Amino acid sequence: MALYSEKVMDHFRNPRNVGVIEDANGIGEVGNAKCGDIMKMYLKIEDDVIQDVKFETFGCGSAIASSSMATELIKGKPVADAMKLTNKAVAEALDGLPDYKMHCSVLAEEAIQSALEDYQQRTGKRIENGGNA
Amino acid sequence: MIYADNAATTQMSDTALATMTAVMKETWGNPSSLYGVGQRAKEVLEEARATIADIIGAEPREILFTSGGSEADNQAILSAARLGEKSGKKHIVSSAFEHHAVLHTLKRLEAEGFQVTLVDVHSDGLIRPEEVRDAIREDTCLVTIMYANNEIGTIQPIREIGEICREKKVLFHTDAVQAVGHVPIDVKAENIDMLSASAHKFHGPKGVGFLYARKGIRLTSLIEGGAQERGKRAGTENVAGIAAMAAALREENAHMAENAAHLTEMRDLLIAGLRGIPHGDLNGDARRRLPGNVNFCFEGIEGESLLLLLDDKGIQASSGSACTSGDLDPSHVLLAIGRVHDVAHGSLRLSIGPEITAEDVKTIVGAVTEVVTYLRGFSPIWRDLMSGKKEFIL
């Protein structure tokens, strides 16, 4: 049995949305080098919609795949939807992660949260995440 | 495919495999039985014992067959502890970068009231005999220091440590799992009282190993039952596995000099090639290491991603990164030689075998360079390092 699902390996081998957005208006970085995982998310938000998203990740195969999948799940979506992205949704979209790698999907969720936080601070806008978007 | 993870396990040699199947087919009796097929199995067992003893300079009765290196480590350490506590000696000297079969056994003894001193491993991956001497106390019952480290391959000054132990009248055990079959070992000349080995590290089968214990050292059984192995290891012997282990070791020993010469040349080529990657560093002394071991840290990347992408390119290797162990901390070996976490996560171990060619070395260097460069290309740490926001460690 392989360590990772085909989906994880696909996103690891061919990560989507890799790189930097120079004029990003929301940037989030989570994790630390001590633990071996750092994720950085760049968001370009216009009209409350995530027009573009890119990531940089230092980490294991599942960290890279989780970042890639998370960007796919929020790209083109309203910010309120992105706000509601959970680590579970990321892991499920990857057809599962080994138990001890679930923290990678948590980091992906946190990286997006952190970038959205940054966006709100920069723009002074509040993202409503309670109701239906 | 280039298999460069021989420190994890080796492929069984044809000789070992042929011996194993022949014994299983023809000498399948129980060595404890009195009739022919049992006694022939007993002969096979004792021949294997004599072969192994001869290669490491021991006597046949000093070789005890086990299920592998971990069992041998456990039994050696527990035996020394039981002997020690009889005379009130409950202190053990070891090092921080031992295999977990040693470290976890020591932890268990600590819970029983033993005290353990771990001597420093210097940044070159070597232990200083004088520091072992300084750590020995009146109540020390055992010094256990590995022969060669399983991750960084550094070969310890065993003979010197053995001399000190002899002089101080303290038992000396060495976990030689990575060394047996790869470097010449003479237990008497090197003052070794107990030594652990594992067959699958030298092209023998898995699930079999041995413990050498100098005559006169009273061993404690880990497995109670029948009187096999002079009453020190119950259970019907794994005759086929033991015979295959002896066959593998005989073969490795016969080709040791030529294998070591070739591996050393290939190893040094690999090291030279990988030194071409900026902000990387060799772990452990460049010379005093196993002929087949290369271990590097590369800053700005994580080891598991590196391994997976190398596997895609047909190269099998290993890493001391946290993500390859299911643990949050990177390798205790790399931390012991002073690598900080950030850098220890980006480690790569290549343990090559005698079939490697100069062409393979080129392929490996090319692949590692390409993958490290690719991963650094989207590593936020690398970005910070390159932009000067963070300082390079390597």
Together in a domain, B286 and B341: yes
Shared domain for B268 and B247, answered yes or no, is no
Q: Do B247 and B180 lie in a common domain? A: yes
**Residue in B177, B211, B170, B216 with CA at minimum distance from that of residue B194:** B211
B271 assigned to some structural domain: yes
Cβ-nearest to A38 among B305, B324, B381: B381
Same domain, B234 and B263: no
CB distance A9 to A97 below 8 Å: no
Where among B254, B275, B306 does a domain terminate? B254
Q: Tell me how far apart the alpha carbons of residues B42 and B25 are, in angstroms, rounded to a whole number.
A: 15
Does residue B292 contact residue B10 with C-beta atoms inside 8 Å?
no
Q: Are B351 and B9 in contact (CB under 8 A)?
A: no
Kindly state whether A39 is in contact with chain B, defined as any CB-CB distance less than 8 angstroms. yes
Pairwise CB contact (< 8 Å): A61 & B380:
no
Does A58 contact B321 at a Cβ distance shorter than 8 Å? no
Q: Per-residue confidence at A131, pLDDT binned at 50, 70, 90? A: very low
Cβ of B380 within 8 Å of Cβ of A39? The answer is yes
Amino acid identity, position B228: Q
In contact, B38 and B32? CB cutoff 8 Å: yes
B262 belongs to a structural domain? yes
Q: Does A64 touch chain B (CB under 8 A)?
A: yes
Residues of A in contact with B383 (CB under 8 A): 20, 56
B280 and B248 within one domain: no
Nearest chain B CA: its distance from A34 CA (Å): 5
Contacts with B321 from chain A: Cβ below 8 Å: 36, 60
Of the candidates B28, B67, B318, which has an alpha carbon nearest to the alpha carbon of residue B204? B67
Instruction: State residue B305's pLDDT score.
Output: 96
Q: What chain B residue is nearest to A102 in terms of C-alpha separation?
A: B326
> May I ask the CATH class of domain A6-117?
alpha beta
Residue A33 in tokens: 């080098």
Q: Is A35 a catalytic residue?
A: yes
pLDDT at residue A129 is higher than 70: no
**pTM for the model:** 0.95
pLDDT in tens, chain B (394 residues): 999 999 999 999 999 999 999 999 999 999 999 999 999 999 999 999 999 999 999 999 999 999 999 999 999 999 999 999 999 999 999 999 999 999 999 999 999 999 999 999 999 999 999 999 999 999 999 999 999 999 999 999 999 999 999 999 999 999 999 999 999 999 999 999 999 999 999 999 999 999 999 999 999 999 999 999 999 999 999 999 999 999 999 999 999 999 999 999 999 999 999 999 999 999 999 999 999 999 999 999 999 999 999 999 999 999 988 666 556 688 999 999 999 998 999 999 999 999 999 999 999 999 999 999 999 999 999 999 999 999 999 9
Annotated catalytic residue within A43, A74, A83, A104: A104
Per-residue pLDDT band at A132 (split at 50, 70, 90) = very low
Which amino acid, one-letter code, is at B152? I
| B67 and B173 housed in the same domain | yes
For residue A58, give the nearest of B309, B341, B379 by CB distance. Answer: B379
Q: Does B382 touch chain A (CB under 8 A)?
A: yes
For B176, residues 6+ apart whose C-beta sits below 8 A from its C-beta are B146, B147, B148, B185, B195, B196, B197
Counting the structural domains of chain B, the total is 2
Residue A13 forms contact with B (CB below 8 Å): yes
Quick check: is B297 catalytic?
no
Q: What is the CATH number of the domain that holds B323?
A: 3.90.1150.10
Say which residues have a Cβ less than 8 Å from residue B110's Cβ, sequence separation at least 6. B116
Q: Amino acid letter at B28?
A: W
CA separation, residue B312 to residues A6, B10, B154, B295, B297 (Å): 13, 20, 29, 20, 20
Domain end position, chosen among B254, B281, B301: B254
- CB of A107 within 8 Å of a chain B CB? The answer is no
A132 Cβ contact list (under 8 Å, min separation 6): none
Residues B309 and B193 grouped into a single domain: no
* Pair B306, B219 in one domain: no
SS3 (DSSP) at A26: strand
> What separation in angstroms does the CA of B337 have from each of B193, B283, B325?
27, 8, 19
So what's the pLDDT on residue A133? 38
Q: Smallest Cα–Cα separation from B379: which of A56, A85, A65, A48?
A: A56
- CA angle (B58 as vertex; B230, B229 as ends), nearest 5: 15
A61: chain B residues, CB-CB within 8 Å: 304-305, 308, 323
Q: Report the residue of chain A nearest B301, measured CA to CA.
A: A58
Asked if B381 and A60 come within 8 Å (Cβ–Cβ), the reply is no
* Residue B125 within any structural domain of the chain: yes
Other CB atoms within a 10 A radius of the CB of residue B105 amount to 23
Residues of chain B in contact with residue A41, where contact means CB-CB under 8 angstroms, are: none
pLDDT band at A33 (very low <50, low <70, confident <90, very high): confident
CA B297/CA B339 separation, integer angstroms? 9
One domain, residues B242 and B293: no
Distance CA B260, CA B55 (A): 17
In angstroms, the CA B40 to CA B25 distance is 12
Q: Beta strand pairing status for B280-282 and B209-213?
A: unpaired
Burial B27-66 (b: 16+ CB within 10 A, else e): bebbbeeeeeebbbbbebbeebbebbbbbbbbeeebbbbb
Counting residues of chain A whose pLDDT is more than 70, the rounded percentage is: 95
Q: How do strand B140-144 and strand B91-95 relate by DSSP bridges?
A: parallel
Structural domain includes residue B393: no
Question: Residue B187 is part of a domain; what is its CATH number?
Answer: 3.40.640.10
* B227 shares its domain with B301: no
| Beta-carbon separation of A59 and B326 below 8 A | no
With contacts defined as CB-CB under 8 Å, which chain B residues touch A65? none
Cα gap B189→B160, rounded to integer Å: 10
Which of A60, A71, A107 should be substituted to probe chain B, the one whose Cβ sees the most B Cβ atoms within 10 Å?
A60
Same domain, B235 and B276: no
Three-class secondary structure assignment of B164-199: HHHHHCCEEEEECCCCCCCCCCCCCCCCCCEEEEEH
**Domain range holding B311?**
255-386
pLDDT score, position B54: 98
